[in-house]
Chains A and B, each alone.
Chain A
Amino acid sequence: MGALNHAEPMAVPVPPIRRRVAGALLGFGSLAVVSILAAPLAGSTPVDFVRAWDPSIPFHRNVDAQIFFIARLPRVLAAALVGSALAAAGVVFQALLRNPLATPFTLGVSAGAALGAMLAITAGVSFGIGPLGSVPLASFAGSLAAVGIVYALATARHRGFSTNVMLLAGVTLNSFFSAIILFLQYLADMTQTMRTVRWLMGDLDVASYGPLLAAAPLVAVALGAFAWLARALNLLALGPEQAEARGVDSLRAQRVAFISASLATGAAVSVGGPVGFIGIVVPHLVRLIVGADHRILLPAASLFGASFLIGCDLVSRTVMAPLELPVGIVTAMIGGPFFLWLLISRGGGSAR
């Protein structure tokens, strides 16, 4: 390198990437594990855990065991699944749209899911398959439809993938589907309307493992795709053209990002309804802690999202017992003020 100065290599205060990833996984992972283990132990009903775990008492007569294994544990696992899926999807959507205000619901996924759910609720007939109820199935179908429309519109251009078109399509779809939902609510009777509104507030009381087993593979596939995308997402933050100049296949990365994040969101919404704020609060919070490198941000946000939602669900099922405070309200009440504070103190927290 000729004339260039070979100074002593500078000591790097920031630990190398491997250590940071390991540190994040360890730290947030421990928090997640502790949440999953501790949450089923807490609740509004006193449970005798010795009895619950006593194998000599037949399960079908063991109330404490049923509370633990049927009422609480699936709920905590659902919170972990939904929280991790929505938080990670939020990170990916923010990277895809290059906008820290994007949420997993910006592009119409939840509107499609809501429409599907509403149709299932007002139809009144059960078309569930095995462990999958009609409402989760219909909501997932609805989200797929919405994703399909947005994807088709975004890729219809001659060249590649337009995030602008995608954003417009998503926002339009949100409004359009919301209008249809309101119309259906108007036609439906009061109970159905009430149940739809309730569904929109989020509910993690799955009371069985079926929906979790159905949604988990989808979320796992999506999280795997995210791992593959992590570095590309960093470069996409500079813009698709600049990412391409550095060797990223921007088109493929954007497509995979959109599809996998929508899949994760659709699966999460089919389990617990559209629980808001996780997809925007958790990415921001975690980005403040670990930085913007997606290789650390994605696993950290995913794990923290799980803990966060487990905590919110705990609040939702204990604070007003025996009444349930819908979990979407809890996340909004925590997320809303936090987000306002974030905007005030950091002006949006983005580079722009």
Chain B
Amino acid sequence: MLSATDLSFTYGRRRSGREAGGPAVADATLHVAQGSRVGILGPNGSGKTTLLKLLAGVLRPDEGSVTLEGRDLRTFSRAGLARRMAMVPQDTHPAFEYTVLEIVLMGRYAHLGPFEMERPGDLRVARECLEATGTSALQHRPFHTLSGGEKQRVVIASALAQATDLLLLDEPSSSLDLRYQLEIADLLLRLSRGRSSTLVLSTHDLNFAATVCDALVLIRDGRLVAAGSPREVLTPAHIRTLYGVEADVQEHPRHGGLVVVPVRPDGEGGPGGDRPWAR
């Protein structure tokens, strides 16, 4: 459904082609199948957010191309793209006080004409999205009064309101505590199964990726180093390459999913000090 070929991108690139720093993403090629849940996994600064933005068409690649349903992204109009692909950013800070419902309704922008106002159908879609994310009770509250987890769910609802088959999420669990991480993971799985949505998410949380995704792409210093199913990709060797950490990958006795447990940072020999979490 969504494909990237030889993507390269550098921040601060001037017209002259002079590069300000190294490339944020280099020679990235990947393919997202319809209905799949793809995770872009990498440490901080590895370029995963950049890659996600390139896939979303928010950033234009310096080299390479991104195609959606066989067409280059650049051939789509802004609204056309928004009807096919929705993106959930890591943080949302509206400059003014909007209610939850107003923010969710913003997702309907691409479905309305220049001077059109929301019709009952749009309101219905918005309410359904609120229900899907469990935020119906919050719809008239000002957005900035919500907790981090609630905000994230509302933004997801807003993206859902775009009624797209493809949903991209940038670090959906990063700013959330354990409970909300589980809720979001649960929500994403439900969306994938219930709506047949295709998900692409970027994260540095190995366990989150293991739980939610059925395909993983590992990225380090802007380059993709591995791709495949979680079982294929989440190996101690790869984790060592990516994070420089010695870790165990286990199958959880209760839910059967993969769990990654860090043992110690790579390079430190022998048991040095008490590490309760490693027991």
Residues of chain A at the chain B interface (Cβ within 8 Å): 1-7, 9-10, 12-14, 16-18, 21, 94-95, 98-100, 158-159, 227-228, 231-232, 234-235, 237-239, 241-242, 244-249, 287, 291-293, 295, 349-352
| Per-residue A-contact encoding for B31-73, CB less than 8 Å = 1, 0 else | 0000000000000000000000100101010000000000000
Count, chain B residues at interface, CB 8 A:
54
Other-chain residue from B98, B117, B144 in contact with A352 (beta carbon distance below 8 A): B144
Query: A247, B95: Cβ atoms under 8 Å?
Result: no
Query: A245, B56: Cβ atoms under 8 Å?
Result: yes
For A9, what are the chain B residues with a Cβ–Cβ distance below 8 Å? Answer: 124, 127
Query: B94, A237: Cβ atoms under 8 Å?
Result: yes
Other-chain residue from A6, A100, A241, A293 in contact with B89 (beta carbon distance below 8 A): A241
**Distance, CA A291 to CA B94, complexed state (A):** 13
B93 lies within 8 A of chain A by Cβ: yes
**Distance, CA A239 to CA B94, complexed state (A):** 7
Query: B98, A234: Cβ atoms under 8 Å?
Result: yes
Query: A287, B124: Cβ atoms under 8 Å?
Result: no
Q: Number of residue pairs across A and B with beta carbons under 8 Å? A: 135
Known contacts A237-B94, A237-B98, A350-B96; decide if A246 and B194 are in contact (CB<8 Å).
Answer: no
For A7, what are the chain B residues with a Cβ–Cβ distance below 8 Å? Answer: 131, 136
Please name 18 pairs of A and B residues whose Cβ atoms are closer than 8 Å in the assembled complex, sorted by A: A1-B132, A1-B195, A2-B193, A4-B131, A4-B190, A14-B140, A16-B118, A228-B114, A228-B115, A235-B109, A239-B93, A247-B81, A292-B96, A292-B98, A295-B117, A351-B143, A352-B95, A352-B144
Q: Which stretch in B100-108, B199-207, B246-254 binds the other chain?
A: B100-108
For A237, what are the chain B residues with a Cβ–Cβ distance below 8 Å? Answer: 94-96, 98
Query: B78, A249: Cβ atoms under 8 Å?
Result: yes
Q: How far is the CB of A19 from chain B (nearest CB, A)?
A: 10
Other-chain residue from B78, B83, B96 in contact with A351 (beta carbon distance below 8 A): B96
For B195, what are the chain A residues with a Cβ–Cβ distance below 8 Å? Answer: 1-2
For B78, what are the chain A residues with a Cβ–Cβ distance below 8 Å? Answer: 244, 247-249
**Distance, CA A248 to CA B83, complexed state (A):** 11
B19 lies within 8 A of chain A by Cβ: no
Q: How far is the CB of B75 from chain A (nearest CB, A)?
A: 15
Other-chain residue from A16, A99, A231 in contact with B109 (beta carbon distance below 8 A): A231
Other-chain residue from A12, A18, A94, A292 in contact with B117 (beta carbon distance below 8 A): A18
Query: A247, B117: Cβ atoms under 8 Å?
Result: no
Beyond contacts A3-B193, A237-B98: 18 other A-B pairs, Cβ-Cβ < 8 A, are A2-B193, A4-B128, A7-B136, A10-B139, A14-B99, A14-B101, A21-B117, A228-B114, A234-B106, A238-B95, A239-B92, A242-B87, A242-B89, A242-B92, A245-B89, A287-B96, A291-B98, A293-B98
List the 5 closest pairs (A to B, CB-CB), nearest first. A247-B82, A247-B110, A98-B95, A292-B96, A2-B194
B262 lies within 8 A of chain A by Cβ: no
Known contacts A3-B190, A234-B106, A248-B109; decide if A17 and B117 are in contact (CB<8 Å).
Answer: yes
